[in-house]
Amino acid sequence: MLDSKDAVKSLDRKNMFGAIEEMPKQLVEGLRRGKMSGLPRFSPKDVFVCGMGGSAIGGDLLSAWLSLSSEVPCWVSRSYSVPAHMSKDSLVIVASYSGNTDETLSMFDDARKKRAKIVAISTGGQLAEMSQSYDVPFARLPAGLVPRASVGYMFGAMLGVLERSGIVSPDKQLEETVRILSKMLSYCRQSVSTGDNPAKMLAHELHLAVPVVVGYGISAPVARRWANQLNENGKSLAFASEIPEMDHNEIVGWMKDARSKGFAAVFLEHGKGKSAMDKRLAATKEMLGRVVPVYTAEAIGLSPMAKMFSLVMMGDFVSAYTGILRNEDPSSNEPIDELKATLSKK
């Protein structure tokens, strides 16, 4: 089924596969738009990303990447309010692809009360209107995508904002990332047959199980992205976990609870060596392999950004192929739309 162009096209009504293939271009264009946001140059003591869902995951990726590239900490806030330690010396990136996310608009107001330096990122909506009203720097993204398919634009724009503020200079890592992702398309896109396509093969392995995606370091937020995408694109219940923490609690449930038989573990790896983490990964995978199927997705590239986004792209393809295997449109959102409609009535 995954090798039939017509079958995939009939289900992929909003061209999710096209959006995934555009990820390298999204990163470059997002960076350009972020740099054009109009943010005055200054040196923040910390960075906050305020958002929800597909808009906030870019902040998770940014926070993990920035922890290896700068001494400036980055926090991600998913709520109606912002953390108490935000201040006038904070750089706050308020991100909502639609521009109409209730929680994000509320965080925008809360950040204004704290007199933080705010930059907004969206396609328009109320967030754009509020930014104009309060003279807040604004980066406008191209419209027409479901929010989760805009991760390249979102991360790129956030990166552009940080570059404009003088926190980072990401050019070399971004160049490698674009090159690596373009290479991955040669063997992950829909036109590549299943036997030569690792994303299709993994989707076939996972679509009848409940995947738990395990990350560490820079792959921890990517594991969250995989789980989110499997839930939304794949219409498949999935969860994320993080090592080494899972070895101090969760592993007991894996090994002792007979219900784990319906699960599968997917480890996102991004470095081979003789470190303590490598030894822990090998030991954990060996133990889990006694009770459930265990799979590994390995990052490619040299820089942290390239490794991170190689795993992001792989997960996005796997999730979209999983949706097709379940005879679903990867872009559909009916339960989310239903919940939003219920909340709007209340």
Domain closes at, from 130, 149, 169 = 169
Within a domain: residue 330? no
Within a domain: residue 331? no
pLDDT at site 210: 98
pLDDT tens digits along 168-221: 999 999 999 999 999 999 999 999 999 999 999 999 999 999 999 999 999 999
Task: Give percent of the chain with pLDDT exceeding 70.
Answer: 99
**Could you confirm whether 129 is annotated as catalytic?**
no
Domain closes at, from 124, 146, 169 = 169
Co-location of 305 and 188 in the same domain: yes
Within a domain: residue 227? yes
Co-location of 217 and 297 in the same domain: yes
Co-location of 195 and 60 in the same domain: no
Co-location of 145 and 206 in the same domain: no
Q: Which of these is catalytic: 114, 183, 285, 340?
A: 340
Q: Which of these is catalytic: 5, 71, 248, 256?
A: 248
Q: Which pair of tokens denotes residue 244?
A: 């080494």
pLDDT at site 301: 96
pLDDT at site 324: 97
Tell me which residue of 177, 165, 128, 123 sits closest to 38, measured CA to CA. Answer: 165
CB 329 within 8 A of CB 198: no
CB 331 within 8 A of CB 12: yes
Structural domain count, the chain:
2
Q: Is the dihedral of CA 338, 342, 343, 345 positive or negative?
A: positive
Place of tokens 């552009």: 160
pLDDT category, 337, cuts 50, 70, 90? confident
Co-location of 321 and 185 in the same domain: yes
Within a domain: residue 26? no
**3-state SS assignment for residue 321:** helix
Q: Which run of H or of E encompasses 241?
A: strand 239-242
Cα separation, 132 vs 137, in Å, equals 8
What range defines the domain where residue 75 resides? 36-169
Within a domain: residue 218? yes
Cis bond leading into 73, ω under 30°?
no
Residue 346 has pLDDT above 70, yes or no: no
pLDDT category, 271, cuts 50, 70, 90? confident
Cα separation, 344 vs 346, in Å, equals 5
Task: Using alpha carbons, list the distances in angstroms from residue 34 to 112, 126, 154.
Answer: 20, 19, 9
Q: Which pair of tokens denotes residue 166?
A: 């003088």
Co-location of 234 and 153 in the same domain: no
Residue 41 has pLDDT above 90, yes or no: no
**Could you confirm whether 204 is annotated as catalytic?**
no
Task: Give percent of the chain with pLDDT exceeding 90.
Answer: 92
Within a domain: residue 3? no
The least confident of 57-71, 148-162, 206-220, 328-342 is: 328-342
CB 123 within 8 A of CB 99: yes
pLDDT tens digits along 294-312: 999 999 999 999 999 999 9
Q: Which of these is catalytic: 21, 103, 232, 269?
A: 232
Q: Which pair of tokens denotes residue 64?
A: 């993990």
Cα separation, 29 vs 41, in Å, equals 21
Co-location of 287 and 225 in the same domain: yes
Looking at residue 39, the DSSP 8-state letter turns out to be P
Report the side by side order of strands in the sheet with 74-77: 74-77, 46-50, 90-95, 117-122, 138-140
Within a domain: residue 213? yes
Place of tokens 């942290």: 304
Question: In whole numbers, what is the pLDDT of the chain averaged over residues?
Answer: 96
Find the mean pLDDT for residues 142-157: 97
Co-location of 102 and 234 in the same domain: no
Residue 50 has pLDDT above 80, yes or no: yes
The least confident of 97-111, 167-181, 205-219, 331-345 is: 331-345
Backbone φ, ψ for residue 300 (5° rounding): -125, 160
Q: Which pair of tokens denotes residue 228?
A: 């989110």
Beta-bridge partner residues of 214: 241, 267
Co-location of 186 and 266 in the same domain: yes
Within a domain: residue 268? yes
Co-location of 54 and 141 in the same domain: yes
The model carries a pTM of 0.96
Co-location of 188 and 164 in the same domain: no
Co-location of 148 and 223 in the same domain: no
Domain closes at, from 137, 169, 201 = 169
CB 65 within 8 A of CB 108: no
CB 302 within 8 A of CB 209: no
CATH code at position 165: 3.40.50.10490
